[in-house]
Amino acid sequence: MELLSLPPLPRVAICGGTHGNEMSGVYIVREMQKRKVDQSGSVSITTVLSNPPAVEACMRYIDTDLNRCFTDALLSAPVTDSTPYELRRAQELNAQLGPKGSNEAVDLLFDLHNTTANMGMCLIFYSLDWLTLHIYKYIQSKMTSAPVRAIQLDIAASEAYSLEAVGKRGFAIEVGPQPTGVLRADIYNMMKEAVDFTLEWLQKFNSGSIFEGGEVEAYAFEKSVDYPRDPTTNEITAAIHPQLQDNDFKLLRAGDPVFLSFSGETVKHEGEELYPFFVNECAYYEKKIAFHLAKKVTLTFPSVSVKKD
């Protein structure tokens, strides 16, 4: 059996409130800060409330979406008086937790998000990373309160735009459904469990446990679908169809209803069979995304253990 030896992961950052109205992460981070949790066995933990003014205002962002500001280009853009708040904050966070792509960056950064979509518990990551897949498999094997899934975005590191890209490794933990501005105990507990299992895995890994390889299923992003819109006003003319609403990750086949227009007409899915996710996410109306579509893929990964000095 192939066994991959990898360096330990002693420095971890846990971030919440990157979107100021996604409440589970805000309260998990606040609670950890209140309890001064900065160490978990072999792991030193930095907790960060990413966008405090947006949290204060209970809005996704103040000037622009912070979680789209971590591309190489934006992180090195000169700051002027007219620079949006979030771009300045992104550069601060990059200095604190990165710099992105450097040896000084935290070993693992995970960022806590909520969605209004019925997605259960998802790990979202950019590139294929074996350690992330191990953590995913570990959470999946331990959690019983919700389905646990992985979503893979295929974006080059330089173009990776979200906060977790600042760490040497990183992923987003996305849990829903939860309305923005609302804190649900069930969703909070689910996210807290995922955080605790991640820290547990890190401690086991750092202290020499061998994690066996295997394979997992993941959803690989294919494309986004916008709402039908009025060509003149650009306003939406339909809502997500009741048969698609709340059915994230349920295979969409050609002919399945996807939208119901305000005048009562059904719009159907066309083309290949794909899996919908982020169905009716609140914040994606302005991004012109009604839902994403993914292919299901099987990812194989080797056994891993920590590299001994």
Tell me which residues touch a second copy (CB under 8 A): 27, 30-31, 58-59, 116, 177-186, 188, 235-236, 239-242, 245, 260, 262, 280, 282-283, 285-286
Instruction: Tell me how far, at minimum, the Cβ of 70 lies from a second copy, in Å.
Output: 24
Instruction: Tell me how far, at minimum, the Cβ of 186 lies from a second copy, in Å.
Output: 5
Q: Which residue, 97 or 240, has its beta carbon nearer to a second copy?
A: 240
Instruction: Tell me how far, at minimum, the Cβ of 120 lies from a second copy, in Å.
Output: 16
Q: Which residue, 50 or 115, has its beta carbon nearer to a second copy?
A: 115
Q: Which residue, 118 or 224, has its beta carbon nearer to a second copy?
A: 118
| Strands of the sheet with 257-261, listed across from one edge | 238-240, 257-261, 266-268
Q: Which residue, 155 or 282, has its beta carbon nearer to a second copy?
A: 282
Q: Which residue, 2 or 235, has its beta carbon nearer to a second copy?
A: 235
Instruction: Tell me how far, at minimum, the Cβ of 99 lies from a second copy, in Å.
Output: 32
Q: Which residue, 22 or 164, has its beta carbon nearer to a second copy?
A: 22
The string of DSSP letters for the chain reads --EEEE----EEEEEE-SSTT-HHHHHHHHHHHHTT--EETTEEEEEEES-HHHHHHTSS-SSS-GGG--SHHHHTSPP-TTS-HHHHHHHHHHHHH--TTSTTS-SEEEEEEE-SS--EEEEEESS--HHHHHHHHHHHHH--SS-EEEEE----GGG--SGGGGSSEEEEEEEES--TT---HHHHHHHHHHHHHHHHHHHHHHTT--B--EEEEEEEEEEEEPPPB-TTT--B-EEE-TTTTT-TTSPB-TT-EEEEETTSPEEE--SS-BEEESTT-GGGTTTT-SEEEEEEEEEEE-EEEEPP-
Instruction: Tell me how far, at minimum, the Cβ of 241 lies from a second copy, in Å.
Output: 6
Q: Which residue, 45 or 216, has its beta carbon nearer to a second copy?
A: 45
Q: How far is CA 246 from the centre of its chain?
A: 19
Instruction: Tell me how far, at minimum, the Cβ of 22 lies from a second copy, in Å.
Output: 11
Q: How far is CA 274 from the centre of its chain?
A: 20
Instruction: Tell me how far, at minimum, the Cβ of 42 lies from a second copy, in Å.
Output: 25
